[in-house]
Amino acid sequence: MDILKIIAPTVLTFFTGIFITPILTRYFYKYKMWKKSPRTEADTSGAFKEIHNTDHELSTPRVGGVIIWVSVFVTVALIFILSKFFPAGLFGGERSIFDQVNFFSRSQTVVPLGAFFLTAIIGLFDDLLQIFGQGSYAKDALAYRKVKIVFVTLIGLAIASWFYFKLDFVSIHIPFDGPWMLGAWFIPLFVLVVLGTFSTSVIDGLDGLAGGVLASCFSAFAAIAFLGAQYDISALSGAIAGGILAFLWFNVPPARFYMGESGMLALTVTLAVIAFLTDSVLLLPIIALPLVATTASVIIQIFVYKFFHKRRVFIVAPLHHHFQAKGWPREKVVMRYWIVSVVCAITGVILYLVS
C-alpha cells in the first residue's frame, strides 16, 4: 500500500496533465501568451544571437508551468475530497483506498505544497508582466532580475523562519558523518539554498531541457523520501514528477510552450524545501548537478569577463548554449542533459542509502 500511495498520485497527475493541456494550450494561443519582444542578454559576442531562435520565442506561450501545478492541485484536491467522502473501505475495511493514498498532511506536505502554489502564483504574475507589460521589464532586462532575487529571498526567509520557529529545524545531515547543528544559522543557509536553486531557472532555454532535468530531480527525492518513510513527501514528489512528465509530453521539440517563471520558480523553490524536509540538502548539488553546472557556468563567465579583461571561459553562457555554439544540435544537448540527470539522480539515491 505504501508503494501504491506513491504510484497513484504520480499516474493521476500525469494523466490529468495530459487531459488539461490541450484545453489550456488553446487558451494560451488564443490570447497570445508569449513575449512580444526578445530577451536582452549580457552576452555581446554575437554567438547568442546565432543560436537563439527569436521567431520561436515570440510565437510560443511561456506559461506552460501552469500545466504542472494545476495538475498537482487537481490530484491533491481530488484524492483529499474522496478520502473525506469515503473514509472507510467498501467491504468493511477500516480505511478506504482514497484515505490510504491521501498525501495531504500537516506534518509533511502542507509546507511544500504551500511553497509550491505560492511561488507558482508569483511566477505566473511575473510571466504575465513580461507578456502583457511594457518597458524594459517586459524584455527581461538584467537590472530587473534583481527584483526577482529580492522576491525569492523574501520567500526563502519566510519559509526558513517557519522551518526554524515552527518545525524546530536547527541542523542538517552530513553524509557519512551525522547531524551538523546550525542553530539560527539554519535560516541564512536555507535562504542561500533557495536562491541557489532558483538561479538554475537559466536552464529553461531549450525545448524539453528543464522538464527532463527536473523530472529526474523530483523522482530522486520521491525515492529518498520513500526510503526515509516520509511517504506523504514521497507521494508529493512523485505527483510533481508526473506533472512535469505531462508537460514534457507536449514540450519535446518543437515545444508547444515554455515553462516560464510560473513553472521554474515553483519547482526550484519546492525542490529546495523538499531537500530540507528529507534532511538530504547536501545531496541536492549531486542530484541536481546539471542545474548546478548551468548556474556555475553563468557565474564563472561573468566573473572572468569582468575581472580578466573581458575574456570568456565559454563561447556563450549558460552551459547548454555553449554546447550549441560548439555545433551540437539542440536535441543532442537536451538528450545528453537528460542522461546526465538520470545518472546524477540515481547516484544521489545510492549515496542516501549508504550514508
Number of other CB atoms surrounding residue 278 within 10 Å: 24
Decide if pLDDT at 321 tops 90: no
pTM for the model: 0.92
- Taking alpha carbons only, the member of 295, 215, 228 closest to residue 10 is 215
Instruction: Print the domain residue range for 26.
Output: 2-354
Q: Are 194 and 272 in contact (CB under 8 A)?
A: yes
Percent of the chain predicted with pLDDT > 70: 88
Q: So what's the pLDDT on residue 353?
A: 94
Question: What's the number of domains the chain is made of?
Answer: 1
pLDDT tier at 146, thresholds 50, 70, 90: confident
Residue 353's Cβ-count burial label (10 Å; 0-12, 13-18, 19+) is exposed
- pLDDT tens digits, one per residue of 198-255: 877 778 778 889 999 999 999 999 999 999 999 999 999 999 999 999 999 998 878 8
* Cell 510560443 -> residue: 60
